[in-house]
């Protein structure tokens, strides 16, 4: 299965990253950008970094391994992150249905929901 991430017409996909871990790295971005002008998101399993720069009402997204620097609204970014988290759980549960009752994952999902994700 190939998992893709396209934002503002730029493909930021990577192969072989754990989808839930990847989504969780992005989870804090919408809130953090309300008070910070720059945010760096780093993956723990490879040398991959995403940088998000707030430029007025828009957010510029770039990566150290991808071409392109789309500008998106904060609402668009929040929608992408929410979808990313939902899709990550759906993929995880589809391939490992026994995890639907995992206390850690249930608690994590509840905490994300309480943050509006």
DSSP 35-62: T-SEEEEE-SSSS-EEEEEEETTEEEEE
What is the rounded distance in angstroms from the CA atom of residue 105 to the CA atom of residue 53? 30
- Residue 4 in this model has a pLDDT that exceeds 80: no
Pairing between β-strand 58-63 and β-strand 71-73 as defined by DSSP bridges: antiparallel
CA distances from 50 to 61, 66, 107 (A): 7, 9, 27
What is the rounded distance in angstroms from the CA atom of residue 35 to the CA atom of residue 70? 21
What per-residue confidence (pLDDT) applies to 30? 93
Domain spans of the chain?
6-114
Task: Answer for the pair 20, 33: CB distance below 8 angstroms, yes or no.
Answer: no
User: For the segment 59-81, what is each residue's pLDDT rounded down to a tens digit?
Assistant: 999 999 888 999 999 999 999 99
Write out the H or E segment, with its range, that includes residue 77. Answer: helix 74-95
Of the pLDDT bands very low, low, confident and very high (cuts 50, 70, 90), residue 39 is: very high
What per-residue confidence (pLDDT) applies to 32? 93
Q: How many CB atoms lie within 10 A of CB 80?
A: 20
C-alpha distance across the termini of the chain, in Å: 25
């Amino acid at each position: 299965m190939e998992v893709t991430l396209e934002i503002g017409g730029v493909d930021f996909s990577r192969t072989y990253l754990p989808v839930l871990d990847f989504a969780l790295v992005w989870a804090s971005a919408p809130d953090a950008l309300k008070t910070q002008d720059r945010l760096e998101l780093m993956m723990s399993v490879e040398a991959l970094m995403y940088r998000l720069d707030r430029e007025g009402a828009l957010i510029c997204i770039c990566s150290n391994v991808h071409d392109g620097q789309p500008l998106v609204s904060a609402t668009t970014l929040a929608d992408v992150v929410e979808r990313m988290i939902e899709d990550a759980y759906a993929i995880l549960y589809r391939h490992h249905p026994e995890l639907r009752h995992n206390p850690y994952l249930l608690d994590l999902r509840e905490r994300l929901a309480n943050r509006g994700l």
